[in-house]
Chain A
Amino acid sequence: MGTIIQLFSRNNQRGFEALLAPHVEYLYRLAYRFTGQRADAEDLVQDLLVKLYPRRAELEHIEQLRPWLTRTLYHHFIDQVRRSERNPLHNALDIVPELDGGVGADPMSAGATESGVLQRQIATALAKLNPDQRVVVSLHDMEGYTLQELQAMLDTPIGTLKSRLHRARAALRETLRMEPLSPPERYTGERTSS
């Protein structure tokens, strides 16, 4: 009997893995765009997979699994952010490590290439967006989904998506000082004092 149960369990696991293995890297990429941190992205995907495991029979009957997974990841991300914001632990500050004897935290190594700097600036700007804005910028401007696809995928009206995109881009431009509606001297090529 125990062997039969083990076999059943192993088959379940194999079925789950076969179904989701082609999508894990994709989910991680989206999760990274949502969270901006590798470790947080891995946690988000891991949590999602844990939640999906009991629903493996349902997954087998979903025809378009990738869009469904994208929507599920999105909801899971938003739920997680809202839940953590409600919990006072959310405001606990980061840890500060020290070594006995006075050796402190190492500074981050700076990959000081221009593109690296720009990438970090964008990452910082993205982190300042609210979660819904970050998701729509990630999926539309980075992953290339159309607004029509996102409307169906996220079950959100196009008007709402457009509004989020518009505000998100404005916030990003502001943070990156790339505001296209800035004073006229920028258009004529004159440098502003800085």
Chain B
Amino acid sequence: MTMNCTDTKALFDDLLDGELPLPQTEAVQRHLTTCAACREVLDREQGFRTVLKAQEVPPPSPGFAVRALANAQRKATAPRRRAFVAGFGSAVAAVLVLWLGVALFPHGASNNGAIPTVTLALAQPQMVRIVFTAPQDFPDATLTILLPPHTALKGYPGKQEVVWRSSLYKGRNMLTLPIEADQKPGGNLIAKIHYGTDTKTFRLRLKTQPLQQSMNRSVAV
């Protein structure tokens, strides 16, 4: 069997996958002995697969396996969130006003999929504004804020999880959170929007720096 370059290259996937029958494998090898161009293509394809195989996976967050297994039982048997949300009715109204009141504020660029980061001054409440851009109205959505360790939401002492019912409106919706860090935060702030049967999760990395540096940066900007 004599093969040209096009036929040969079409079989490279099967060859490298070990799926090519012996007669065709031999025909490909015969072609390769006389065709430097196809050998180069095959080398490049092998290199491509080597790079794919070497693609690194970052380790999960510390203690993830233990935490996830323990959470499985707790979450599988926990009562539904709706009942918990109802207890925060008074907070809903207060924050809803704030949220909608600042909805027209301008904001910066998209974070392109990376976890966005803000740097807080230590031991000083700072207003962190979060803009949710919605493609349409989401009436009666539920917003959950989970704070990382060593941070607090002013007005909610001792609470690391705060839940509100509110509506997202088409366009920009801004949430302003007065956050204080008493030391380096132990993780990300997580914002979850529940709507219907689905949930969208956003993460925000909180970093800290000494007060003086933070003030200097604010002035410089």
Total count of chain A residues near the partner, CB < 8 A: 76
Contacts of B184 in A (CB 8 A): none
Where the two chains meet, the residues of B that have a C-beta atom closer than 8 Å to any C-beta of A are 9, 12-14, 17-19, 37, 40-41, 44-45, 48-49, 51-53, 55-58, 60-61, 64-65, 68-73, 75-77, 107-111, 113-120, 126-136, 138, 141, 168, 188, 191, 193, 195-198, 200-204, 207, 214, 217-218, 221
**Contact between B72 and A16 (Cβ–Cβ < 8 Å)?**
yes
Instruction: Tell me the bound Cα distance from A166 to B76 in angstroms.
Output: 39
A100-B128 contact given A28-B60, A39-B188, CB 8 Å threshold: yes
The 7 closest A-B pairs by CB, nearest first: A100-B127, A49-B72, A187-B37, A53-B76, A87-B198, A93-B133, A24-B65
Instruction: Tell me the bound Cα distance from A140 to B58 in angstroms.
Output: 19
Instruction: Tell me the bound Cα distance from A146 to B17 in angstroms.
Output: 8
Instruction: Tell me the bound Cα distance from A49 to B135 in angstroms.
Output: 32
Which interface residue of B9, B17, B53, B217 has the most chain A CB atoms within 10 A?
A: B17
**Contact between B49 and A141 (Cβ–Cβ < 8 Å)?**
yes
Query: Taking the complex as formed, is A160 at the interface, i.e. its CB lies under 8 A from any CB of chain B?
Result: no
**Nearest CB of chain A from residue B94's CB, rounded to whole Å:** 19
Give the interface SS of chain A, mostly helix, strand, loop or mixed: helix
Query: Taking the complex as formed, is A29 at the interface, i.e. its CB lies under 8 A from any CB of chain B?
Result: yes
CB within 8 Å of B: which A85-118 residues: 87-106, 108, 118
